[in-house]
Structure 1
């Protein structure tokens, strides 16, 4: 039995061993986090278990079409439920669950289901496959291992996670296994066009207003190999924008011809900046993010800098410049 198969067996045993579960995804959830959360809740109920699904905040409206999305609780507006075990979905480290961590007593059994290379294996049990394109792919492996049939509503959740974390099957993490999984989910009744339209094509007016402002801040550096955009807290307020309205903005920096690293600085407060990093082919932005207390993937990562925008830019850009110089020196 391989190490991964042993992890699948351990995860299945964890679900069988406990009865009342709290299932959590990461703060500011994306399609993979939300789809995996709903998929895990569905699986637990199939096993005859109780499952409460929770986010630190509200679930973005664009995921409202996912079957069961109305069952996800906003922890900031709810009382702590009764549970005897926890499952986290798509969280690279314990901090990513946000303030919900205050609900968890010390030593609580916790199954960590994830795919981030920077995952620090914080669970008492860990089902982590770092070469998977999405946590939805790991969950699909678990369903296959447990010989669980996949109805259409479950397939929609998993497909959404897979679609979003592969950028519509465009990113380098689109493997043969990913395409085989997508094909199997389509055979379960998934209609791909409406999901792609909602997840990849439709943008909010607030997003457009932010984009207009962000493009005016575009700066190229490192002989045009780095590009960055900036969004201030005032921009967010004046555009009537929510966190999910910033999704995809960083790609406008990264997608410029000749640019290797794209960066989006989003000012949360006068002393707090969220940083999104994307790279094209040579720079490991997960390593950069992890060195600042964040994490993610080789080509897509993020971190939070506690300081001003100027502080954040100085810290991040020094690290990006050093990474580029190191790559050039090794050629």
Structure 2
């Protein structure tokens, strides 16, 4: 594993870097990759940013987001691939994977737990609340002067991955970095409302369906919701409308493990795990080929919705003996 200074040195030597985040982009992924892209442009780099998946409407306010190329990699000469907020190639999507396999040098910058990131140069720090924290430090090493646009992107990265500073991953350093960004004029109240205070009607309809599916284990320590493909399609909903639904079973008093089952198709289910204080859901997700953080992880499992629920809940109940 490299140190951050080594990563900065690699970036300084690059002239035409290609930047990307993970599939189903969230606030940390987008905010981090945009902030890094702007920073590299400010020191003379010819930067291209790509995304395998469509960009959520929720984050359309982010400065520079319209510069992200969606669904393809422009036919240009690149000298470096920089992967942000992702350290497993399976999370890059079909747009980026051929570039990884092309022999181009790869830099990975992430905060998700992973013992074997795939880059030639890797910096993974799981103690960081958000990849945005790491990018902020990296920009300083690169001699980048943070402006308002970069600050908005970094603040969004941090505030989304900490649940507006409510999650256990929030540290004194997190608050300190956020405070530094606010000094650049970040409109905290406006951003908070854009990210957490408004939802499209589709999201509310999906919430209704999710809560109607809510189940709680006999011991009251596990709660789960299920969303089938037909309901998602009927509402014309997308990934962005489903994000955050798992927080509702997690809020139930006494619940220590919340699970969301989302049917991707009739033979594939996306499973998300969240815990409060004691359960290592990264360990649980790894049993099914997934991963993430100690308190927030996920995986994708082949099988019908009912089959996946049965196998996952069996493993979950093993955590709480007698549950």
Corresponding residue for residue 85 of structure 1:
80
C-alpha distance in 2, partners of 1:267/1:175? 34
C-alpha distance in 1, partners of 2:177/2:150? 13
Contact 2:87 2:109 in 1 (8 A): no
Contact 2:151 2:186 in 1 (8 A): yes
Q: Deviations over 1:234-273 (max 9, x none)?
A: 0111111111100110111111111111111000100000
* Structure 2 unpaired stretches of 5+: none
Corresponding residue for residue 44 of structure 1:
40
Question: Is the counterpart of residue 323 in structure 1 residue 319 in structure 2?
Answer: yes
Corresponding residue for residue 132 of structure 1:
128
Q: Deviations over 1:64-119 (max 9, x none)?
A: 1111000011125x654431210011113111111121233443211101001236
Question: Is the counterpart of residue 259 in structure 1 residue 234 in structure 2?
Answer: no
Question: Is the counterpart of residue 74 in structure 1 residue 70 in structure 2?
Answer: yes
What SS does the aligned partner of 1:325 have? coil
Contact 2:128 2:169 in 1 (8 A): yes
C-alpha distance in 1, partners of 2:82/2:5? 15
Structure 1 range deviating more: 102-111 or 47-56:
102-111
Structure 1 residue 155: Cα displacement: 0.3
Structure 1 range deviating more: 94-103 or 204-213:
94-103
Corresponding residue for residue 163 of structure 1:
159
* Structure 1 unpaired stretches of 5+: none
Number of residue pairs matched? 322
Contact 1:80 1:103 in 2 (8 A): no
Question: Is the counterpart of residue 237 in structure 1 residue 233 in structure 2?
Answer: yes
C-alpha distance in 1, partners of 2:281/2:226? 18
C-alpha distance in 1, partners of 2:207/2:265? 20
Pick closer, same or farther for the CA change 1:263–1:127 going to 2, 3 Å: same
Corresponding residue for residue 228 of structure 1:
224
Match of 1:9 among 2, 5, 9: 5
C-alpha distance in 1, partners of 2:50/2:115? 21
C-alpha distance in 2, partners of 1:23/1:255? 36
Contact 1:36 1:89 in 2 (8 A): yes
Corresponding residue for residue 96 of structure 1:
91
Structure 1 residue 206: Cα displacement: 0.5
Corresponding residue for residue 20 of structure 1:
16
Corresponding residue for residue 61 of structure 2:
65
Structure 1 residue 138: Cα displacement: 0.6
C-alpha distance in 2, partners of 1:222/1:301? 24
C-alpha distance in 1, partners of 2:68/2:42? 17
Corresponding residue for residue 282 of structure 1:
278
C-alpha distance in 1, partners of 2:99/2:113? 27
C-alpha distance in 2, partners of 1:82/1:232? 43
What SS does the aligned partner of 2:191 have? helix
Q: Deviations over 1:126-175 (max 9, x none)?
A: 12111000000010111233342211100000000000000001111111
Contact 2:32 2:157 in 1 (8 A): yes
Q: Deviations over 1:187-210 (max 9, x none)?
A: 111110111101111111101111
TM-score, L = length of structure 1: 0.93
